[in-house]
Structure 1
Amino acid sequence: MVTGVLIDWGGVLTTSLADSIAKWIEADRIDGAHYRSVMREMIDHAYGEGAGENAVHALERGELDGPAFERDLAARLLTLDGVPPVADGLLERMFAGFERVEAMHDMLRDVRAQGVRTCLVSNSWSHTYQRDGWDDIFDAVVISGEVGMRKPEPRIFHHALTLIGLPGAECVFIDDIEANITAARALGMAGIHHRDPDTTIAELESLLRLTLRRA
């Protein structure tokens, strides 16, 4: 029986990262093709099985502060004018387009009302989280930069499970990155690869044997 839900934030409880990035690219006049090439290499390395680490690992664990990462990333990018974008505040501008997905927040309220334990497990990029109402939907909160661990490292999942007092076999993990779900499954958790609220909620209903709100 599933009695715990671990869940990601950006792109799951919010609108998609791709939508937020698209708004930022337009607003800051970023060379989109160049940006995607730079980020694909960094993200594939950070969430793949390659040797060594890059700045994303350090940023997500809080070992590298936001301004330092912004300077590093800005130096790699170009605007349509052929110059690097302004580094100061770069991360906040990148994530400014995130909007709450109310159906997902309502779902968490529903599952908690049924006695299911809930825990946020989010990799932070030194950006600001909109935490209004979190006390209503989470029993515990794990932000990577605050705990010095990151997904898909097993230890961050062990930490989250300890906070809610449940074994992995009684929990489901919801995320929009497949590598993180693979890591959670290796610890005995069920996994839901989030693509849209309706599909995720339907899969969760099946696991929990509950009827949950979609709007």
Structure 2
Amino acid sequence: MIEAVIWDFGGVLTSSPFEAFNRYERERGLPADFIRSINATNPDTNAWALFERNEISLDEFDKLFLEEARARGHDVTGRDVVSLLSGDIRPEMVTALTRCKERAKVGCITNNVSAGEGAGMARSHEKAAAVADVMSLFDHVIESSKAGIRKPDPRIYEMACEALGVDPAKSVYLDDLGINLKPARALGMTTIKVLNAEQALEELEAAVGFSLR
């Protein structure tokens, strides 16, 4: 019996920022996945990691990311990256979240930064309000920029389960990044890698045993 469903936010309940990264790269003639390659280099100590743990300011991130990009041959500022982070809410996933909340505890673990408005790093008041509505559904939310800890640190998944009062083995965790699923799975959580909404909902329905649509 699943007692809790724990969600990533960006790329799960919203469209993936990776789509925006790729669009930015195409528009500027950059190599595909250039931004992701920077974020994957020295993943615990690079500018992105420091910013998600709120160890540096936006101004510092802007400068450090540009230095990392230039080291790879192209100019991309940290502020440009931040402007791409806020995705569009996926209504079908929010419906699923609502259905899960009717029968189980629901939580959120999101790696985010202290930029934009709210947990979803929204770029407008309208989008920030929509994100706030979704966030209000959760029984507990952990934001890396507030907790000072980020996925895939195993402790962040333990923190979520402790806050919800559930055994990891009775929890499901959804994320769009495999690297963030591995420690959750090691704790005994059922994990779902979100490739798209349809696939994720099919796997989540199989895990919880009831309809989400």
Q: What's the TM-score, normalizing by structure 2?
A: 0.83
The residue aligned with 1:49 is none
- CA apart distance, 1:41: 4.5
The residue aligned with 2:123 is none
* Distance change >3 Å, CA 85–CA 13, structure 1 → 2: same
Q: Is the 8 A contact 1:91 1:126 kept in 2?
A: no
SS of the residue aligned with 1:207? Answer: helix
The residue aligned with 2:198 is 198
Q: Does 1:84 align with 2:82?
A: no
Q: Is the 8 A contact 1:66 1:91 kept in 2?
A: no
Q: Does 1:58 align with 2:47?
A: no
Alignment-mate amino acid for residue 3 of structure 1 = E
* Distance change >3 Å, CA 143–CA 77, structure 1 → 2: same
The residue aligned with 1:160 is 160
Aligned mate of 2:42, from 34, 41, 45 = 45
- Deviation per CA, 1:57-95: give whole Å up to 9, x if none: 2222111222211111123447xxx983565x3243222
* Distance change >3 Å, CA 127–CA 13, structure 1 → 2: farther
The residue aligned with 1:210 is 210
Percentage identity across paired residues of the two chains: 25
SS of the residue aligned with 1:32? Answer: coil
Q: Does 1:107 align with 2:107?
A: no
Aligned mate of 1:126, from 101, 104, 114 = 114
- Deviation per CA, 1:100-120: give whole Å up to 9, x if none: 111111100011012x11111
Q: Is the 8 A contact 2:96 2:201 kept in 1?
A: yes
Q: Is the 8 A contact 1:181 1:192 kept in 2?
A: yes
Q: Does 1:94 align with 2:91?
A: no
Quote the Cα distance in structure 2 between the aligned partners of 1:76 and 1:44: 9
Q: Does 1:142 align with 2:142?
A: yes
SS of the residue aligned with 1:57? Answer: helix
* Distance change >3 Å, CA 202–CA 184, structure 1 → 2: same
Q: List structure 1 segments (4+ residues) > 4 angstroms apart after TM superposition.
A: none
* Distance change >3 Å, CA 133–CA 38, structure 1 → 2: closer
Quote the Cα distance in structure 2 between the aligned partners of 1:38 and 1:198: 27
Q: How many pairs does the alignment contain?
A: 199
Q: What's the TM-score, normalizing by structure 1?
A: 0.82
* Distance change >3 Å, CA 162–CA 24, structure 1 → 2: same
Quote the Cα distance in structure 2 between the aligned partners of 1:161 and 1:83: 41
- CA apart distance, 1:168: 0.4
Alignment-mate amino acid for residue 45 of structure 1 = N
Quote the Cα distance in structure 2 between the aligned partners of 1:176 and 1:11: 6
Q: Where do 5+ consecutive residues of structure 1 fail to align? A: 47-51
Quote the Cα distance in structure 1 between the aligned partners of 2:69 and 2:46: 16
- CA apart distance, 1:43: 1.3
SS of the residue aligned with 1:69? Answer: helix
- CA apart distance, 1:181: 0.6
Quote the Cα distance in structure 1 between the aligned partners of 2:42 and 2:74: 26
Alignment-mate amino acid for residue 106 of structure 1 = T
The residue aligned with 2:124 is none
